[in-house]
Amino acid sequence: MQNATTPSSRQKIGVSLVDGDSTIRHARQLMLRSEDYDVRSYATCAALLADPRSRDYPCLILDLEMEDIDGPALLREMRASGWRGKAILLDGLNPGIAMLIEAERHGDTVFARNIGDRALLTAIEASIDHSWAGWNAEG
């Protein structure tokens, strides 16, 4: 059991979550917050891009089947605007080879959309560069 006076190693680490399905987005947001992540959730890729604070978060969980902007285009825009984090891309079908190659090149990972909570938490931990550990909500 964690000591109430000792902060979690994940406390204050930011995760951006983009999913058009409000039920899934809300459930994942609650789960991540219960694990001491600071979560900003977005219903669309455009909403994520419009929020300058999203660049401060080291991990992006992205449903690839978004209507407004596709996953690779979103990641290119985020990186062009200075974001240097890692993405966990969630796909309902088998991703194409080009998607896998681009993801690997940037250190991103691709998983099935129905990934379980434990596996998602493990993927987040693996994706976060520990140089982000000093990140705080004040920026």
CATH architecture, domain 13-130: 3-Layer(aba) Sandwich (3.40)
What's the pLDDT score for residue 94? 66
pLDDT score recorded for residue 135: 45
Which whole number is the average pLDDT over 2-20?
66
Do the Cβ atoms of 16 and 61 come closer than 8 Å?
yes
Domain boundaries, given as residue ranges, for the chain: 13-130
What was the pLDDT predicted at 95? 62
Could you give the 3-state DSSP secondary structure of residue 31?
Answer: helix
For residue 136 the two structure tokens come to 């705080």
CA distance 61 to 25: 10
Within 8 A by CB and 6+ apart from 90, the residues are 19, 61, 62, 63, 64, 110, 111, 112, 113, 115
Confidence (pLDDT) at 43: 94
pLDDT, residue 121, reads 95
- Which residue type is seen at 9? S
pLDDT digits 0-9 by tens, 18-56? 999 999 999 999 999 999 999 999 999 999 999 999 999
